[in-house]
């Protein structure tokens, strides 16, 4: 299995040698295979955004090194050396506004392809397709990206990254601000792109339901340190450990625990999603078509 | 019931828009109420919040806050009664450091220095951000920014708190803490809370839920009432309660499920009893 990403003892210190010096990453080491889907979870301030900003070299390690798509990044790496990598790694930031700057929505989304040398007309075409993929209404394409609702801005920021067709897709709480339908559609879109275009996906999320549904492994951060790297199934089975670290459970798992508490029913394995929950219960419940249909 | 805010026959559109976003819009909010507003992206939730806070001026209609009709003369006065946490906390920061930022609103209200200092410290401690008081707001993590924005509002001790997706970037434990804090303040200090959220669990805590769709109120009722209408919510692109999701998944496996709306607790009970019977 080829490695897409490898961190070796990465430290990151904000504002070093000042009274505000803050070590946001502390000896972080892990590796992720090509075409994996990894969720990063952890409390506010645990270092998730700092970690993912290393993946396209926006931040460079204070100590240690990392490899992304065969590009080594060390404290000495220059931005010039990273221009190739930045085409391959698309990062959707936690605050979408930070990413918007053009005069119109369409031009904002077309920025990356134009920047990569694609002609204006073709870039606009690609931008339109990306806008459609994230379900932006046509009516907003010629508006300023700053005159949109929060969820619409989020969609523009996502489209602006997808249009790059990156090999590694880094998503920092990409669905914050999206309505429930948009949330589901966009998460499905990422999953679809991953399997069609063979992407490696890294998702920072506080939504354990998404972690359970989409990720094949989870990194847990706490105060700058990587606590553990596990599959969702392993992680969410350790209820006491999760409680101790004040981490949440998927809704379906909580629901399953309630059933176990109030009956003799035992789930195996522990369900993480609604469909897994229903699959295990269905044979023990009365069948038939309800009266109301 | 006494109204703390009232919107009457309001028309509003942004200058770039060709048609009304709100047309002949009416909404009354009771004193001490917890009102949740839900609706799809672009339905007008944040615009409504900015209208209530006097940041946008309607083309027609009236907005009443605490028994006074809003006008260009009293808007600054009325805004002091309202504390708003913006959807993007970065749009909210004005101070050079976290403590200054929280103090800024109080300075505006001419709170004496000693008292101001106390209130800033108390508010930052309530949201667990006191240790960051000297930090520049720009240098905080996403969730830390949201906590500081919330501290800024609770320090003001407003009569109305508007939370525009104010917990969207908090971890599950942090979100629970903040919501509990707001609930506690609501009881202790008699707040009225307007909470705009996509989170169904958060909306379920409200006394009343307003469903907004392209500037129109489709429904305004208790959470139990609104959230029992699964299909309507799904059609609007909104979330349904977890119990309804379980029901749907079971139905797809030909399980004979109850036709009326069950809360999550009741659904657990129903499943446990049905397993026994079979
Ligand atoms: N520019 C900066 N200068 C100094 N400290 C910073 C800076 N940016 C972040 N920090 C600090 O580094 C720590 C990690 O921040 P980071 O943004 O990586 O957290 P996070 O895990 O993404 O949190 P959240 O879930 O709230 O987004 C935090 O304590 C934060 O205050
Ligand atoms: N500053 C602005 N100028 C022009 N149009 C705007 C502006 N802000 C919002 N709009 C438009 O007004 C409509 C309502 O936007 P609003 O921000 O109120 O939606 P919202 O319900 O808060 O959505 P979201 O859930 O995405 O935050 C949208 O169609 C949006 O594009
Ligand atoms: Mg972050
Ligand atoms: Mg909004």
Residue A293's pLDDT band (cuts 50, 70, 90) = very low
For chain A, how many structural domains are there in total? 2
Q: How does pLDDT run across A51-70, given as a tens digit for each residue?
A: 999 999 999 999 999 999 99
CA angle A81, A85, A87 (to 5 degrees): 125
Rounded distance, CA A78 to CA A84, Å? 12
A31 and A110 inside one domain: no
The answer on A139 and A2 residing in a single domain is no
The sign one gets for the Cα dihedral B62, B166, B138, B112 is positive
- Tell me if A162 is assigned to some domain: yes
- Ligand 2 centre to CA of A95 (Å) is 17
Cβ-contact A248, A69 below 8 angstroms? no
Q: B16 touching A, CB under 8 A?
A: yes
Q: What is the pLDDT of residue A292?
A: 52
- A63 within some domain: yes
Whether residue A76 sits in one domain with residue A157: no
- Which domain does A77 fall in, by range? 1-94+200-232
Same domain, residue pair A89 and A103: no
Residue B22 · residue B62 · CB < 8 Å: no
Is there a contact between A272 and A253 (Cβ–Cβ < 8 Å)?
yes
Q: Report whether the peptide linkage leading into residue A69 is cis, meaning its omega lies within 30 degrees of zero.
A: no
Tell me if chain A has a CB within 8 Å of the CB of B169: yes
Helix (H) or strand (E) holding A136: none
Residue A144 maps to a domain: yes
A133 and A163, same domain (yes or no): yes
Q: How far apart are CA B157 and CA B255, in angstroms?
A: 51
d(CA A244, CA B55): 44
Q: Is the pLDDT of residue B140 over 90?
A: yes
Let me know if residue A68 belongs to a domain.
yes
More confident residue, B40 or B109: B40
DSSP for A6-56 reads: EEEEEEEEESTTSTT-EEEEEEEEEEEETT-EEEEEE-TTSSHHHHHTTTT
Query: A242 in a domain, yes or no?
Result: no
Is B15 near chain A, with CB under 8 Å? Answer: no
Same domain, A114 and A130: yes
Closest CA of chain B from A116, distance in Å: 30
Q: What radius of gyration, in Å, describes the C-alpha atoms of chain B?
A: 21
Q: CATH no. for residue A75? A: 3.40.50.300
- Residue A290 falls within a domain, yes or no? no
How many C-alpha atoms does A52 have within 13 Å on its Cβ side?
A: 28
ipTM of the shown complex: 0.93
- pLDDT of A290 reads 59
Q: Alpha helix (H) ranges present in chain B?
A: 45-52, 75-79, 98-108, 113-126, 142-155, 172-189, 200-203, 223-227, 230-235, 242-251, 264-277
Interface test with A, best of B13, B17, B19, B41 (most A CBs within 10 A): B41
Q: Name the least confident of A59-63, A104-108, B130-134, B232-236.
A: B232-236
CA-based nearest residue to B29, from B53, B12, B55, B11? B53
What is the SS3 assignment for B140? coil
Mutating which of B170, B171, B179 best tests the A interface, going by the most A Cβ atoms within 10 A? Answer: B171
Is residue B108 within 8 Å of residue B76, measured between CB atoms?
no
Please indicate, yes or no, whether residues A110 and A74 belong to a single structural domain of this protein: no
Within a domain: residue A182? Answer: no
Same domain, residue pair A153 and A65: no
pLDDT of residue A3: 81
Same-domain pairing of A16 and A33? yes
For Cα atoms B251, B255, B259, give the angle at the middle one, nearest 5 degrees.
Answer: 65
- CA-CA distance, A173 to A188, in Å (whole number)? 15
Overall average pLDDT of the B231-236 stretch: 90
What does the block give as tokens for B263? 């809360």
Asked if residue A31 and residue A52 are part of one domain, the reply reads yes
Mutate to test the pocket of ligand 2, among A100, A103, A148, A183 (most ligand atoms within 8 A of CB): A148
How far is Cα B35 from Cα A63, in angstroms, rounded to an integer?
Answer: 49
Cα B49–B54–B55 angle (5° rounding)?
80
Are A6 and A86 within one domain?
yes
**Protein residue whose Cα sits closest to atom 2 of ligand 2:** A147
Q: What is the mean pLDDT of chain B?
A: 94
Considering the domain architecture, whether residues A58 and A106 belong to the same structural domain is answered as: no
Domain assignment present for A160: yes
Token pair listed for A227: 């606590």
Contacts of A79-87 with CB under 8 Å at 24 or more apart are: A82/A56, A82/A57, A85/A56, A85/A57, A86/A56, A86/A57, A87/A116, A87/A164, A87/A166
């Amino acid at each position: 299995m080829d490695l897409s990403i490898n961190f070796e003892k990465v430290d990151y210190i904000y504002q070093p040698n000042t009274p505000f010096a803050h070590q946001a990453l502390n000896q972080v080491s892990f590796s992720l295979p090509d075409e994996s889907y990894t969720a990063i979870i952890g409390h506010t301030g645990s270092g998730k955004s700092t970690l993912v900003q290393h993946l396209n070299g926006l931040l460079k390690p204070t100590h240690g090194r990392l490899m992304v798509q065969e590009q080594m990044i060390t404290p000495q790496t220059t931005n010039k050396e990273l221009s190739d990598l930045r085409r391959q790694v698309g990062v959707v930031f936690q605050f979408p506004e930070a990413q918007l700057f053009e005069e119109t929505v369409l031009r904002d989304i077309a920025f990356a392809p134009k920047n990569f040398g694609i002609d204006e007309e073709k870039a606009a075409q690609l931008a339109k397709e990306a806008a459609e993929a994230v379900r932006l209404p046509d009516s907003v394409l010629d508006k300023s990206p700053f005159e949109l609702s929060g969820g619409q801005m989020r969609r523009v920021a996502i489209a602006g990254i997808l249009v790059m067709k990156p090999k590694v897709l880094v998503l920092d709480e990409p669905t914050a601000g999206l309505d429930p339908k948009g949330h589901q559609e966009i998460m499905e879109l990422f999953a679809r792109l991953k399997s069609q275009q063979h992407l490696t996906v890294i998702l920072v999320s506080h939504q354990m339901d998404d972690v359970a549904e989409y990720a094949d492994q989870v990194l847990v951060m706490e105060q700058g340190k990587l606590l553990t790297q596990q599959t969702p199934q392993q992680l969410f089975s350790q209820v006491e450990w999760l409680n101790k670290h004040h981490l949440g459970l998927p809704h379906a798992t909580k629901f399953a625990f309630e059933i176990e508490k109030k009956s003799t029913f035992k789930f195996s394995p522990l369900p993480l999603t609604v469909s897994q929950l229903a699959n295990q219960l269905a044979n023990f419940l009365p069948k038939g078509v309800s009266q109301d249909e | 019931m006494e109204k703390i805010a009232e919107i009457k026959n309001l028309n509003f559109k942004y200058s770039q828009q060709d048609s009304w976003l709100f047309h002949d819009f009416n909404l009354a909010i009771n004193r001490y109420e917890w009102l949740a507003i839900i609706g799809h992206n672009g339905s007008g939730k944040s615009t409504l919040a900015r209208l209530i806070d006097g940041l946008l001026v309607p083309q027609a209609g009236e907005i009443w806050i605490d028994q006074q009709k809003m006008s260009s003369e009293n808007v600054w006065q009325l805004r002091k009664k309202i504390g708003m946490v913006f959807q993007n906390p970065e749009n909210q920061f004005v101070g050079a450091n976290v403590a200054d930022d929280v103090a800024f609103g109080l300075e505006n209200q001419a709170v004496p220095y000693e008292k101001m200092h106390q209130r800033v410290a108390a508010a930052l401690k309530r949201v667990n951000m006191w240790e960051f008081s000297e930090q520049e707001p720009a240098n905080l993590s996403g969730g830390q920014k949201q906590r500081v924005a919330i501290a800024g509002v609770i320090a003001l001790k407003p009569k109305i708190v508007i939370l525009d997706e104010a917990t969207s970037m908090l971890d599950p434990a942090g979100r629970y803490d903040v919501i509990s804090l707001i609930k506690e303040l609501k009881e202790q200090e008699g707040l009225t809370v307007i909470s705009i959220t996509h989170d169904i669990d958060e909306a379920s805590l409200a006394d009343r839920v307003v469903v907004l769709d392209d500037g129109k109120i489709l429904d305004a009722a208790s959470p139990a009432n609104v959230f029992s209408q699964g299909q309507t919510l799904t059609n609007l692109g909104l979330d349904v309660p977890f119990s309804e999701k379980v029901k749907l998944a079971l139905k797809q496996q030909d399980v004979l499920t109850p036709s009326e709306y069950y809360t999550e607790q009741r659904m657990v009970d129903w499943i446990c009893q049905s397993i026994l019977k079979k």
